[in-house]
Amino acid sequence: MKQFVSLFLKPIAFFVHRFGESARRIWAHARFAAAIKGSLDSSVVVLGVPEIRGTGNLKVGSNLFLYRELYLETQEEGEIAIGDDVVMSRGVHIVSFNRIEIGDGTMIGEYTSIRDANHRFGGGVAIRTSGHDSKPIRIGKNVWIGRCSTILPGITIGDEAVVGANAVVTKDVAPGALVAGVPAKPIERKGP
């Protein structure tokens, strides 16, 4: 019996080892495509099935590279629009009740949080049922957002800006600027 099981499992193990990563990517791509309202270009590389919550109102460009453990949520009229050539690292968390736009060529570091809404609170109403206030977020082209950053509602980040790791962006970022800290503030760029 053991030999029979071994003979049966060897070809499967070989197939999984040889073609497993490709099969996982194809599966992840197909699951992602099925979960969103927009279309998903075949050039998009999906390393793990993103967790999609809410309405699935996503517009996705071409040639994206999406790491594992992404969380993408759209509620009410919310929309997430992702340009071409965007990279989202592991654990990126994006929630939209309004609109979040990510420009072409942008790179988003691990565990970054981008949310265009905040809970209302006060007046004796439970936070969970108090609703949300939202403002759109616009992230320009060729922006680099460092690991564990937080982008708050209503923010615009200009083209070719850099957001340092662990920054909390509470104000707009000018094109080409480098910001870091909590709250994020402009710092001098060194080098070329």
Residue-level pLDDT at 131: 81
The pTM score is 0.85
Which sequence spans correspond to the domains of the chain? Answer: 2-186
Both structure tokens of 24: 């996982």
Both structure tokens of 95: 């929630």
Residue-level pLDDT at 130: 79
**pLDDT digit of tens for each residue in the chain (192 aa)?**
556 556 666 666 566 556 667 778 888 888 899 899 988 999 999 999 999 999 999 999 999 999 999 999 999 999 999 999 999 999 999 999 999 999 999 999 999 999 999 888 877 888 888 788 899 999 999 999 999 999 999 999 999 999 999 999 999 999 999 999 999 999 987 766
CATH number for the region 2-186 comes to 2.160.10.10
Both structure tokens of 35: 């979960």
CA nearest to 164, candidates 178, 153, 143, 150: 178
- List active site positions: 119
